[in-house]
């Protein structure tokens, strides 16, 4: 009996050491460099621990001072390859349909490269030199640009990169611009997106009431012409990619939401933008989002789930010098209400 117990204890000890090595030590060693390969990335468990630790030890809305050994916060992953099953799952969850990649003359969804960067983003946000708390970050703006069709990523290995561009002190807290990019195997830039995330500072009750009043008075600020197309969509509790969606807005729902600055579950911002682009492509055709294009989006308010939203989009013509350029405006709002969640513009580069 004693020998059996000793054997079990020894086996558990060996397993524990192996788990610590695989998920902790090896991941820690990998993060000593900012250039990695797709087959050797730190584990999600290790990044989870770093996220929780940093979230609990730093307060939101505060820009921490530059470290003495401050380095540029940038991570690059080489030798990435497109995984068709993951792409199909993304398309199914993001408004395109499970068979979208097999459809003729249709490019990879424009938000899919950002989806591929979710682990890179967690590496960046939990980096020692990242000067904000990773908890409570809110996406307020996004600009997306394609230089070549995103289908270029299907042709072979490609590179993903995320890097911090700049921090800004604003009235509501601190904003940070983060650049995500995808580069083809030939070294040509294919896709780029700049996210502006806000770390809100904690304010007293009077300030919150004032902010709510300002938001309420500023809800109806999107002029809509007569030739508008309108689509109503249901916002589900979750999708088939629920686990990864949670990371797409860089927050963890598997722990109590209040621990990271959230009171209710909201739809990921990347999902909001993706379903808008999917509906525009369905009704306006693939030419609207064919590279090279620029997309800008402003996120006005979190979208609580479940629910129902209305997406409106319409064509516009802008005069640039002596030539006219055609683009598309889009707007996501609460169903049968003027509450605005997101506004954006698609234009040709």
Q: What is the pLDDT of residues 95-121, one digit of tens each?
A: 887 666 565 556 789 999 999 998 999
Give dist(CA 109, CA 111) in Å, integer. Answer: 6
- Structure confidence by residue, pLDDT tens digits, 17-64: 555 555 677 888 888 899 999 999 998 888 988 998 999 999 999 999
* CB 257 within 8 Å of CB 264: yes
The helix/strand/coil state of 83 is coil
* Interacting residues of 188 by C-beta distance below 8 A, sequence separation 6+: 147, 148, 152
- Structure confidence by residue, pLDDT tens digits, 240-277: 555 444 445 655 444 444 444 454 678 889 999 999 99
* Interacting residues of 280 by C-beta distance below 8 A, sequence separation 6+: 288, 289, 313, 328, 330, 346
Return the closest-CA partner of residue 126 out of 80, 183, 164, 84.
164
Return the closest-CA partner of residue 195 out of 249, 136, 127, 148.
249
Give dist(CA 94, CA 244) in Å, integer. Answer: 12
Token pair listed for 179: 């650049």
Give dist(CA 312, CA 331) in Å, integer. Answer: 5
**Tell me, what's the pLDDT at 334?**
93
Q: What are the start-end ranges of the H helices in the chain?
A: 2-20, 26-30, 44-57, 84-93, 112-116, 118-125, 205-217, 242-248, 269-284
Give dist(CA 217, CA 267) in Å, integer. Answer: 23
Return the closest-CA partner of residue 146 out of 328, 295, 275.
295
- Structure confidence by residue, pLDDT tens digits, 129-164: 999 999 889 999 999 999 999 999 989 999 999 999
């Amino acid at each position: 009996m004693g020998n059996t117990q000793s054997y079990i204890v020894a086996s558990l000890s060996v397993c524990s050491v192996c788990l610590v090595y695989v998920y902790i030590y090896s991941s820690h060693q990998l993060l000593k460099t900012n250039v990695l390969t797709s087959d050797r990335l730190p584990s999600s468990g290790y990044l989870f621990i770093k996220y929780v630790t940093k979230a609990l030890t730093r307060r939101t809305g505060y820009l921490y001072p530059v470290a003495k050994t401050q380095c540029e916060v940038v991570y690059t992953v080489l030798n990435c390859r497109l995984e068709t099953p993951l792409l199909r799952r993304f398309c199914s969850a993001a408004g395109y349909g499970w068979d979208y990649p097999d459809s003729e003359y249709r490019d990879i969804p424009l938000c899919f490269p950002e989806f591929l960067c979710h682990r890179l983003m967690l590496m960046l946000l939990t980096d020692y030199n990242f000067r904000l708390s990773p908890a409570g970050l809110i996406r307020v703006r996004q600009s997306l640009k394609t230089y070549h069709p995103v289908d270029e990523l299907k042709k072979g290995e490609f590179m993903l990169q995320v890097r911090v561009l700049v921090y800004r002190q604003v009235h509501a807290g601190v904003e940070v611009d983060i650049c995500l990019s995808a580069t083809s195997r030939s070294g040509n830039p294919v896709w780029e997106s700049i996210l502006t995330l806000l770390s809100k500072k904690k304010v007293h009750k009077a300030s919150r009431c004032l902010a709510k009043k300002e938001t309420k008075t500023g809800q109806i600020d999107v002029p809509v012409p007569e030739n508008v197309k309108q689509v109503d969509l249901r916002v589900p509790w979750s999708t088939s990619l629920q686990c990864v969606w949670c990371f797409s807005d860089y927050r963890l729902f598997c722990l109590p939401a209040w621990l990271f600055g959230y009171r209710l579950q909201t739809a990921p911002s990347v999902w909001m933008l993706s379903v808008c682009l999917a509906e525009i492509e369905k009704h306006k055709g693939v030419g609207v989002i064919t590279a090279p294009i620029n997309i800008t989006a402003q996120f006005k308010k979190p979208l609580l789930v479940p629910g129902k939203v209305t997406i409106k989009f319409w064509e516009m013509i802008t005069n640039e010098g002596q030539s006219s350029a055609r683009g598309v405006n889009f707007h996501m709002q609460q169903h049968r209400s003027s509450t605005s969640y997101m506004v954006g513009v698609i234009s040709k580069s």
